Amino acid sequence: MNAGNQIKKTLADLQDFYLLSINSILKLFKRPLYFDDIIEQMEYAGSASVFIVSLVCLFVGMALSLQLSAELSGLGLKMYTGKIVGIAVIREIGPLVTALVFIGRVGAGQTAEIGSMILGHQIDTLRVYGIDPIKKVVIPRVIASVVMLPCLTIIGDLVCLIGGYYIAVFVSNQSGSFYWSSIIEELTFQNVFSGTIKPFIFGYLISCISCFYGLTTRGGAKGLRTSTTKAVVISIITVIATDFILTRILFYALGFNV
């Protein structure tokens, strides 16, 4: 495929993705609503992901606290470990790490599932019976991702802070009560809002990207592998880039000093 055809294909894919993303919002308010599918997807995206999110966030919190304790100890500022861990986890690390884990587990699963439905002609069957695939397949997954990723982020934040507490208290011999009081001081509107608005946007983007690549799957098992890989890679890049953009916007809007 030459460069011109590749550019045309990329622009066509972008157009199809934007149409899918917009329709997933516009058709959300039209009947019918497939509540059973929504509940099923919420269970898959939410409760089934709690363990892996908690495990990853636990070790991230422990590693962050260990690194900060080591560096701040040399400066005589070890007592600020809880404050810095709290700010970093609530604003940035918690939402981003949870979103990346969500991509690997839920986003890849959504792409593979929809891709299998395409290859098995189940999507074509829905169209034959007059069922809109966007309503039946895409919207339940978008709703589940937008609702459950913020919930997982809250759990991940808490577990991350607990991991930091373990290192700060039982390894660095700091005061546990001072650690938690430092974190509570950082639960300001600016910090909490900055950390909670991101998962809603991340969840929407991850689900739209995953559904798009699932619906465009072609070429059997090899095509399914390619679609899933693309969905994961593009989702990771998009989430990290969006995180930077949102952080910059929120810093300006909420009056953070940079």
Residue 105 inside a domain? The answer is: yes
CA atoms within 13 A on the CB side of 105: 21
Look up the domain containing 121 and give its range. Answer: 33-249
For residue 139, the model assigns a pLDDT of 93
Residue 14 inside a domain? The answer is: no
Q: Residue-wise pLDDT tens for the chain (258 aa)?
A: 567 778 888 888 888 889 888 988 888 888 888 889 999 999 999 888 999 999 999 999 999 999 988 888 877 777 888 889 999 999 999 999 999 999 999 999 999 999 999 998 888 898 888 888 899 999 999 999 999 999 999 999 999 999 999 998 888 888 888 889 989 988 888 889 989 999 999 999 999 999 999 999 988 889 999 999 999 999 999 999 999 999 999 888 877 766
For residue 77, the model assigns a pLDDT of 79
Residue 211 inside a domain? The answer is: yes
Say whether 216 sits in a helix, a strand or coil: coil
| Burial call 223-247: b when 16+ CB within 10 Å, e when fewer | ebeebbebbbebbbebbeebbeebb
Contact in structure between 195 and 137 (CB atoms under 8 Å): no
Query: 3-state SS of the chain: helix, strand, coil percent to 5?
Result: 90, 0, 10
pTM: 0.92
Residue 11 inside a domain? The answer is: no
Provide the number of structural domains found in the chain: 1
Residue 186 inside a domain? The answer is: yes
Q: Tell me the C-alpha distance between 240 and 96, whole Å.
A: 7
Residue 153 inside a domain? The answer is: yes
Residue 18 inside a domain? The answer is: no
For residue 104, the model assigns a pLDDT of 93
Question: For the chain, what's the residue count?
Answer: 258
Q: Which amino acid is at 84?
A: I
Residue 109 inside a domain? The answer is: yes
| Burial call 52-73: b when 16+ CB within 10 Å, e when fewer | ebbebbbebbbebbbebbeebe
For residue 258, the model assigns a pLDDT of 61
Contact in structure between 145 and 207 (CB atoms under 8 Å): yes
For residue 30, the model assigns a pLDDT of 82
